Structures are given as C-alpha cells and as structure tokens.
Amino acid sequence: MGTSPGAGAEEGGRIEAVLSILREAGELDGPGEEPRLTQLEGGWSRHTYVLSRGEPREGRAYVVRVKPPGGLLDSDLVTEYKTYRALQDSKVPIPPVYGCSGSADNPFGGPFFVMGWKPGEAPNVWRRRDRERLEADWYDGRVLAGELARILADIHEVDPDGLTFLGPPRSFDDVVGRWRETYEEMRLVDDPIVEEAFAWVASRRPPPVPPTLVHGDYRIGNMLLHRDQVSAVMDWELAYVGDPHFDLGYTSLRYVAGRFAGGGSLLLDAVADREWFYARYERLSGRAVDREAVDTYAALGALMLITILCTGVRMYEEGRTSDIRMAWNRFAIPGLRQELTSLMGW
C-alpha cells in the first residue's frame, strides 16, 4: 500500500522543521542523502522520532522529542529541553541538544526539541529476557550496578544554582501535596489503601537535607545501554530540585525492577543488591542515605505512579485519548498497592 500524498507532505514538513533547527545550530554540513524520519514505539507522555540518512550513527542521526496533544503527563517540554541543555557539561551521560520549538504550531502538532542520537537500547524490565540479562550483570562483574550508583551520585552533584528554570526547591510537603492533589482530581474510585498511604507518607516528613537535582523517574528503563554500559540518561520531564532521597526511594521500588501483579526481580532495578547500592552511593556522593527516608520516598514514588496510571485510565474513559495502553494502566495498580502495604508494614 502506498503512502498518501497528504501523509508524504506531513512527513516532509516535519523533516524540514527538524532540519531548520539543525541549520540554525550549525549542525548540518551540506547536502547529502535524503533524510528519513522514523517514529519509535512506546512513549507515554512524549512521541519520539529518529531523523537519519541511512542507518543511525552517533554524530549523524538525531532524536526528536515531541509533546503530543493528550499526553499522559502535563509536563513542560521546554523545561525538559532546558534540563538537557543544563547538563551538557556535567558528568551525567546525556545527548547533545540543538534547539527547541516551544509552540504547537508546527508540523508535529506539539512542542518539540532536537537532540543527538546515542547508541543503545532502553531495557524493558517487565520483559523476562531483558530482566534476566540485567540480573546476570550483578552476578558477573556488577558493571551496571556501579553505573547506576555513580550516575545517580553525579546527578545529585549538579549545582542547583544553574537550574533556576526548574523553580525554587520543592519541600517534602510540596511534593506530597502535588501528587495528592493530582490523585484527588484523577482517582477512579475511593481507595482506602491509597488514602492511608498518603496519610502515612505525610506523617513521616524526613529531616531536611541540602536540595539537589532530582531526576524524578530514575530507573534503568530510562537509560540507553550500549555494550553493557550506560550511554545516556533519558526522560527528564519530572525533574525538579529537592531531596535526593526521592530518586533513591523511587529506584528501590519493586515495580521498577519488573514487578507487575507479581514476579519481577528481587534486585534493586534488577541490577543491584539494595544495601550494596546504598553503600556505593554513599561512598561516591559523600551523602549519608537515611533508610527511613528512602522508604518514605519509595511509598511516595508508588503513589506518584498510581496517580499517573489513574490519569491514563481516566483520559481513555473520557475519550481524551484513543491509546488503548492508557486503559491497560489499571492492571499495574494492584501490584503498586501491594507494595505500599509492604512499605507501611501491614
């Protein structure tokens, strides 16, 4: 079946929009083979495309991140772009960025930015073969376990004074309040476990610590792995300045190690023993890890995920999206509720 003229014109407009940003950044070096734009699978709150001439390779291919209408998270794409840009000279492995269009008035139909392509693939911890490959690294070398701790320490080392576009540091109460307010708006039914968990978290305010950059969704599934090493940390749309224990708690969740209704890895993020990871992070960062704060923020991370999943189900129910994956979100909620009961000691 051939491509309709309208579809071809739409793709041509999108390619030109990307090329325009690359020309302005001085990235293009003259005429060559006609580039192709390919949309990648997945993407809950962003659509991702690769622009390349032939097979993608570093320095000669580009990634386009688009905020589509009706995305799962109402996060600001321009702020995400600024986060990538602010990290360019840091120790954090990050793709180069070339420019951003903050308007939805473009051929993509939403704000977008362009960054460099990096080799590697993001593992899917809910796929057994990916999870088993990650676990094997722990028992034979611990390269990824070390990378996960080192990169998190490097993220938390970034000077927050250069991140003013993220707004003022968020207190514990700010973060709890944000997700509780969103949950109240998006919840599907009255859920006593979730209600109790919000109260439990709010009652356990950790002692204040110096604020750092917080990734907000730090897990192995948001990294590109190339030759068993991390080539890039992706998905910064939830980044903020606050307590680094949020990242430590979130990445400790069984859910992000592949647990769904059951199963998953017993290792942190499917790559490390928890106590080993905390000790390695402490040594690399020079920060003490408060285990009670980790549990509190793990519960808050689970509540954040439940809120996001409920948002997807509600959007599908109300006809704001036709993406059937949003309806499937409900199947992940029971496992997260179970994890909350474990964290609360029930």
Same domain, yes or no: 17 and 79: yes
What is the mean pLDDT for each group of 10 consecutive residues in the chain (346 residues)?
Answer: 55 94 86 82 81 88 89 83 98 97 92 97 95 96 97 98 97 98 92 97 97 98 95 96 98 95 90 98 98 98 96 85 81 94 96
Burial per residue of 189-225, b for 16 or more beta-carbon CB atoms within 10 angstroms, e otherwise? eeeebbeebbebbeebebeeeebbbbbbbbbbbbbbb
Q: What does the pLDDT read at residue 4?
A: 46
C-alpha to C-alpha distance for 306 and 335, rounded to whole angstroms? 10
The range of the structural domain enclosing residue 182 comes to 128-343
The answer on 273 and 148 residing in a single domain is yes
Let me know whether 78 and 182 are in one domain.
no
Asked if 203 and 314 sit in the same domain, the reply is yes
Residues 6+ apart with CB under 8 A from 98: 21, 22, 25, 27, 62, 113, 114, 115, 116
Single out the residue in 71, 93, 116 at which a domain terminates: 116
Domain end among 116, 146, 171? 116
Residue at 337 is within a domain: yes
Residues 271, 244 share a domain: yes
Q: What is the CATH number of the domain that holds 301?
A: 3.90.1200.10
**Total structural domains in the chain?**
2
189 belongs to a structural domain: yes
C-alpha to C-alpha distances, 120 to 129, 180, 279, nearest whole angstrom: 16, 36, 28
Asked whether the CA dihedral 29, 31, 32, 36 is positive or negative, the reply is: positive
For residue 2, the model assigns a pLDDT of: 44
Cα(15)–Cα(10) distance, rounded to whole angstroms? 9
